[in-house]
Amino acid sequence: MPLTLWDRVAVLYEVCLICSATLIPNLRAILAQPSLLLHPTTLKSVLFSNVWAFMAPSIDQLGREVKESLIRPNAFGLVLDIGAGQYSSRCRCVYLTRIPDAYTCWAYLSPRTWSYTQVPR
């Protein structure tokens, strides 16, 4: 199905919103550590961590019903959170609080090393 004009405008609006919301945190990160400009991979990780921090609460809320229906009945014993990122503590608190005895351990695995500081110990 091709994108309508309204879909294209909506995408452009979202991109502008994300850019404006993350501009200040991104500039702060670059000013605090100017050498980031010489390391594009690290810079990308910092920039996208700010984008994700802005977008994650909305995305989490939109997918809440599906996540609850999948996580609550199936989480028991050792729970492995793949791609944990910085919002896994929120996921654990929101979706497993009503079944505290269902799981014994929550393990995180994420390929994004910059997100490790955001995951609780």
Residue (of 91, 96, 88) closest to 112 by Cα position:
88
**Structure confidence at residue 105 (pLDDT):** 73
At 108 the three-state DSSP class reads: strand
* Confidence grade of residue 71 (pLDDT, cut at 50, 70, 90): confident
The better pLDDT of the pair 6, 105 is held by 6
Say which residues have a Cβ less than 8 Å from residue 106's Cβ, sequence separation at least 6. 79, 81, 88, 92, 96
Whole-model pTM above 0.75? no
